[in-house]
Structure 1
Amino acid sequence: MTDLSHLGVPTGPLVRVHGGFANRMYRLDTDQGSFAVKELNLADRRSPYHVQDVFRFERAAFAAGVPMPEPISAGPRALVHRWVEGEKLPEAPVPVAYAFELGGILARLHALDVEWTHEPAEEPTPRDWPELARRALATGQPWAGELAANVDRFLAIAHFVDACERPGPVVLTHRDVQPWNLLARDGRPVLLDWELSGPLDLSGELGSTALSIAKGPGFDDVRPAIFRAVLDGYVAGGAALPPPGPSWFVFMIGGWLGFTRWNILRCLAGTEAGTGPDLALSHESARNGVRGLPDMFGRLPQLEALLG
């Protein structure tokens, strides 16, 4: 762990906070307050992490009044924010007022003028699903049969991700506004976990955000009013919506595809990695992707109807 002496004199031990999907989180209480210390997973990151660009963006967002933990420091191995108390979001549609305010937060975020020194670099769309299914079956993974049965669907998803046109504009944004990165404080949003921030096609950010908070587990109960509330809040915040189309959902599908493959590889290794999520959490994420991605892909026409 990196040197944390700048945070003050500890009043208790560094305490692990379980549940992170990519890195590892700890809480540290000192004579200067409480801090969230995130130990970065440097062993098998899916994409480069631009520490100083993200920290600059976070500080600008915090100064602009975006509800978020105060960024304290950022180094090559750890990120530090002031600890924020709030309620975790359940896996269920959020209230309409919460969704509307979240849309306004995105509008404020996209209006910031912040330098970003790196060109966007998306990871290649994975196409090795037949080989992954073979390895999963050979090693007796609990979700191997479902993966093998859906290999053709996963290859079709990869083709969709590569072929789908993104209309723009590209905005500098959070890129991961999901329920697990949100808190509710007095019923209002607090946005956490900014390390995936960077440039992104606007439709992908809005579609991913609106869909993720408008549904419960799976896609059987998507609430159109909550989805639309995010967009209404965005427009009320002075921003304009991009044209409708499948591009609204391609970022979510593509990101989930890469995340599923990453967790599958962790499961195939069969050992607990020294950084990143627990092996049990990787199994849960792999199983959710193997089941959920084909379902989401099959429902694209219904999802696009939310934009009408």
Structure 2
Amino acid sequence: MTRVHGGFANRLYRLDTDQGSFAVKELNLLDRRWTYRVEDVFRFERAAFAAGIPMPEPISASHHTLVHRWVEGEKMPEAPVPEAYAFEIGEILARIHALDVAWTDVSIDDPPSRDWPELAERATATGQPWAGELTSEVETFLAIADFVDICERPGPVVSTHKDIQPWNLLSREGRPVLLDWELSGMLDLSSELGSTALSLAKGPGFDDIRPAIFRAVLDGYAAGGGALPPWGPSWFAFMIGGWLGHTRWNILRCLAGVEPSTGPDLALSHESARDGVRGLPVLFARLPELQQLLG
């Protein structure tokens, strides 16, 4: 097997055989952020693949390894996607939400952690390069945790992918292919639509957000038979909460100071921690603007 570098949570390998090529994902068992519901996710993937959702064929799944048929395609840059591509993503989401797949364990997410003052102290004591920035934004991170915890979600709750980001997409002849379904589960519809549409409508930061591309995702969703939920801050609550948890997880890996045996490399954890420390306060401050701009 050949290692394919760049995974933010797990480690990926390509396996070429006389039966074809396969993507073999080694799940992080060292410090996983959530319980991975293998049977539920695999059943959901199989149903999506059978329904014609553009995605790699799921081959097998266990608590430590996932196998999918390898799919060739162009990696999507972290940049605004073409409007037609965004529209098709919206249509695909509507088809995914229409799947009738039961989940055996519909767990409620734990409230966001509020140990940011302690993390900032540890980062300073261990000389982390982003410690000063984290320390200056501790109150902001506590406010973000409060927002994620108390933000009202209007519903409905749908079965969905939950992680449609540029790095989880390919382009094959200009059309999307959805990768990395491990986060799949039940989610408030507004959170899924907001996270997906904003991720596809912007570049690495928040200075180049294309409202037309955001709207194209929603137009595609409506064209695919989906009904749009009420507009409000809940559209961004899941995205912010996910980034908050991802940042904290990478901070803890950096504080340990050793190269982990599973999951992302230590250098990538430092990059993710730094990006979260800098980017989350910017996103949180722009929530009112985003609601006006994209609503």
The aligned counterpart of 1:286 is 273
Deviation digits for residues 263-294 of structure 1 (CA, Å, limit 9, x no counterpart): 00000000011100000000000000000000
Contact 2:211 2:294 in 1 (8 A): no
5+ unaligned residues in a row in structure 2: which ranges?
A: none
The yes-or-no answer on 1:169 pairing with 2:123 is no
Name the counterpart of 2:94. Answer: 107
Residue 236 of structure 1 corresponds to which residue in structure 2?
Answer: 223
SS of the equivalent of 1:100 reads helix
2:121 paired residue among 134, 142, 164: 134
Q: Which residue does 1:299 correspond to in 2?
A: 286
Distance 1:307 1:220, change over 3 A: closer
One-letter amino acid of the counterpart of residue 169, structure 1: P
CA distance in 2 between counterparts of 1:120 and 1:243 reads 24
Unaligned ranges ≥5, structure 1: 1-13
Q: CA deviation at 1:242?
A: 0.4
Q: Say whether the 8 Å CA contact 2:58–2:67 is kept in structure 1.
A: yes
Contact 2:73 2:171 in 1 (8 A): yes
Partner of 1:45: 32
CA distance in 1, matches of 2:212, 2:293: 9
Q: Distance in 1 between matches of 2:205 and 2:113?
A: 23
- Select the residue among 201, 212, 219 that pairs with 2:206: 219
Once the 2 structures are TM-superposed, how far is the Cα of residue 45 of structure 1 from its aligned partner?
Answer: 0.7
What is the root-mean-square deviation of aligned Cα atoms in Å? 0.7
- Kindly indicate whether the alpha-carbon contact (under 8 Å) linking 1:67 and 1:191 is maintained by their aligned counterparts in 2: yes
- Deviation, structure 1 residue 120: 2.4
d(CA) in 1 for partners of 2:293, 2:168: 23
Aligned residue identity for 1:204: S
1:74 to 61, 79, 84: 61
1:44 is displaced (CA, Å) by 0.6
Deviation of 1:124 (Å): 2.7
Distance 1:293 1:266 in 2: 19
Instruction: Report the 3-state secondary structure (helix = DSSP H, G, I; strand = E; otherwise coil) of the residue aligned with 2:238.
Output: helix
Partner of residue 249, structure 1:
236
- The CA distance in 2 between the partners of 1:306 and 1:185, in whole Å, is 31
Overall identity of the aligned pairs, in %: 80
Q: CA separation in 2, counterparts of 1:265 and 1:29?
A: 35
| Number of residues of Structure 1 aligned to a counterpart in Structure 2 | 295
State the shift of 1:307 in Å. Answer: 4.1
Instruction: Write the distance in 2 (CA, Å) between the matches of 1:302 and 1:232.
Output: 21
TM-score (ref. length: structure 1): 0.95
State whether structure 2 residue 173 is matched by structure 1 residue 186.
Answer: yes
CA distance in structure 1 between the aligned counterparts of 2:262 and 2:240, rounded to whole angstroms: 25
Which residue identity does 1:84 align to in structure 2?
A: V
